Structure 1
Amino acid sequence: MEVLQRSPESGRQEQSVLPCDGHTPATPLSCPNHQGKTMEYYCGPCETAMCVECTEGEHREHCTVPLKDVLEQHKASLRSQLDSIRSRIPQLTSAIDLVGDISRQLSERKNAAVNEICSTFEELERALQQRKNSLLQDLESISVSKQKVLQAQLSSLRQGLDNMESSVRFTEQALGHGSETEVLLVRKQMSERLNELASRDFPLHPQQNPQLEFRVETDGLRRSLQNLGALLTTSAVAYASVATGEGLRQALVGHQTSVTVTTKDKDGELVRTGNAILQAQLTGPDGGAHDGEVTDNKNGTYEVLYTPRHEGEHQLSLRLYGQPLRGSPYRVRAIKPGDVPASPEDVKRRVKSPSGGHIRQKAVRRPSSMYSTNKKKENPIEDEMILRVGSRGRDKGEFSNLQGISTTSNNRIVVADSNNQCIQVFSNEGQFKLRFGVRGRSPGQLQRPTGVAVDMNGDIIVADYDNRWVSIFSPEGKFKNKVGVGRLMGPKGVAVDRNGHLIVVDNKSCCIFIFQSNGKLVGRFGGRNPGDKQQTGTLDGPHFLAVNNKNEIIVTDFHNHSVKVRVHCSSHCGCHCLHDFIASFLSLQVYSAEGEFLFKFGSHGEGNGQFNAPTGVAVDSNGNIIVADWGNSRIQVFDSSGSFLSYINTMADPLYGPQGLALTSDGHVVVADSGNHCFKVYRLRDGSRCDECFWTVSGRAMDGLYPACSLLLASMDTGADCAGQFLNVTSWKGNRVSAGYRVSQHALLISSAHWLGPCSSVSRMGDHTLGDS
């Protein structure tokens, strides 16, 4: 055994190693300050051993005790620390093995990629060489063939020329120098020869052409070569990535269930690219396991689909690059569809699609929770609605199928009242200000106004579905111009981009039109392909659109249950700067200004980030995308990359088929609640400190809990037992406020910028208690 000994030099912390057999050494340690004195005492404040003279000198006022009295105490303390360190050695050893294994795999895959790159390009080089040789052979063959024809023609012409020249010389010589007798003797022969040469048909025109050139289109090939091959990798790690969704705790037997996985890097930052290796496996109560289906959204998020086959407890294992995600495996309770408790308000009825098409879908009045009951809750949920304006009717401030909605910079809300054939204007506080519009099909009249927007001059832009044009009115409601006559078939939504262009959704032709303010068409994209929902560049029932601060066009595709994002060039150079619009079924897609694919998200359903016929859309100052989900009667909030953030809590006065959506000048969300014949204004949480939220955890107050901490706990209404789980909460300033508190049955779900209450119902809560420790 060895022990550490301090250096005798005063003030230095150097230590030396002395042998020790575990017993008191035969030779006592000498005091470095007093020769011949042994160290028999210990000074607690100075944490050092000393002799008796030291206790009477510089340590006279300190608390000293015999060295042997503290020896066992310090041994016990060291043993405790030693045990703590020893317990971590296997963890570090395992981590070293794991990281080393990952490093070796990375090296192996790098070498494999190097070999594949080299072999691929060597094969391409061989193919190029073969093509080169083939072209040279063909070139030689064609040249020889043409030359053969031309040389034969030249030989014939030269022979004819020689014959003519010799005949001419002979005849001239006979005529000039021959006697009369000689001329008479050769006349007949000469005449026949000359006649024969005169009548001979020579090939005077070239029997071949000289064209023989090499032509190759290298621009496309060079572009292809520049993009040939791709290195697929991400910085995603399993321990930082998260899974969300109702499918992490409950599913229906025989029904496909969805879970969303968001990948993050070691610093907790979102990974924006796809291609990560994610595996999902569901193990049933009988021990049988089957793999889940993983869909790569190409934006760093993945949709995992699985279908429980039996009732009971299951385990869902999610592994990223072979490592379990945080919280994996998850305990999932599969129940029969008939066992799902129904809410009295959970009634769906068929209504006509707001698109005016032949497809009928359902818009539902959403209850406060899928699993809510009538029992009283101790903590009432505060709704985020600020204002409700309107009722069914034809007077001022009344509506009949209001659809599009927009706002102005001078605190006005503009509403397209479709069935009343008019536009109504209100203040941000809901006070009626103006109504204009006369029913008809002449310029300046309205037949079926659907979309509305406000341009940079304050003019009101109105999309008229039945008149098939877009009308422009002054802020006072005076008609100024109409756009799109003869081009539009059924305009629905309209927006104004940062260049002042009018962007129109033509619902009937499934196209997006872009006009200058004077009506000149800049470009169009989209189109219908009902036979193939996955066909790129197509839409199916587009409704509304918005433009963000990057001039990206965001379109809601009603019958594809998707939102699509399209980039419009920021310059004024016209339609040549409109890159191919790419759309796909059940997804949101983003493209760069060069038309390159960036990401997509979304699917059909009722879960987080899913849609059932989206309609209105808006973008806030942070680039967050707010979407009105018509069929699910809710409003969802996504970040600029398409990751689901939250719902806007509308439970106190549920929506019914929301359509147009916009942001007011003071940052609130205003939505056209078509089924309830009114518009509503809601708070939009921006993810910053919320002074109205004051949470209490085990008696400790946390003022300003940071909304983005995303803590997933169990629900109190499903009967799930969450006792024994641990809660870690990050305060607004980023300090760890509480750690290791056990969660009682009164557990909550906190998600992103909005508070989600019991039963995963959507709300922002006030004063709440998470439970006792």
Structure 2
Amino acid sequence: MNKTTNATTRLQELSRQIETHCDNVKKEIDKFIDSYILAIEQHRKKLHREVNEARIEKLHRIDQHAIDLQKHLNDIRHLLIFTDELMSEGTEVEILSFIKPILQRLEIHNHRNIPELKISDSLQFLPMEVASEFWNSCPLYGVITTQSVAPEYCVLVEKGKGLHNLRVGKRTDITLELRDRSDTPMQRGGEIVSAEIKHREAGSIKQLPLQIEDNKDGTYRISFTPDIADKYTLYVNVKNQPIKNSPFTFTVRPFRPHYGSFHCCSFCSSGGSKDATCGCGGKMPGGYKGCGHGHAGHPGKRHWSCCGNVLEHSECKKRHSTHYQFTL
């Protein structure tokens, strides 16, 4: 009887613990969701402010342009009124004395360059873009942008070697920079970017695999690895339209391997031979033609004997000829 009572009491206590724990979890959920909703509401107000600021800025530019145009018209109107009064009431001497300054002023107004007002009609809400602000490590979605991408202004940015000096089997990374209609770099990603690389092999056109990565800052990384030495053509499109100067043609050359040994020094790799030389240019005293540890010219680390390059997985910097042996 006592065992049964104790078991019942333990079950009741366990039930109360479960209920208490579930209630606490619900409170945590409500606290988190309420705070998150508050953060979203604040984000909505921020987006509304950005829209209003964009509207005010555009209207201000229109008003300023209207003021400039009105000033230009007033200058011309005053000049015409003065000319009309001069011609109708002025003496011959006054007309002759003012005619040249009037003509010069008319010429200035006639050739005055009033720049065309360029205001982007793009004002977009991008609901899937992550905002720069986070709440409690949680992302807030939705940004306002006044930029609209213009494929004809988008360019490939030459960083490093770009499309020059490419080698078979070496990964190549190039950067695409998006620009808007005013030729200003875009500050966001999320656009439709496509690219393809083609070359001719065995009489047919072959397409080389590539990868496109959105850096989320208005730039994209295009990566590929050439598989044969050949002439390639790269096509880059934004919103299914070619970018500036697309397509791009470039040549990939064979990878130049090392023909020497990756050693610590020529003294060690040659077993102490005095005639052994090294591409690093280092020399040891005592008639040695090659390099040794701690001696002048030694790069201080392992390197290739053919060209002195300290990178083991690299291309040889030095051209060399192939010698053929014949047995007579």
TM-score under structure 1 length normalisation: 0.15
Q: Which of structures 1 and 2 has the larger relative contact order (alpha carbons within 8 angstroms, sep 6+)?
A: 2
Greater helix percent: which structure? 2
Structure with higher Rg: it is: 1
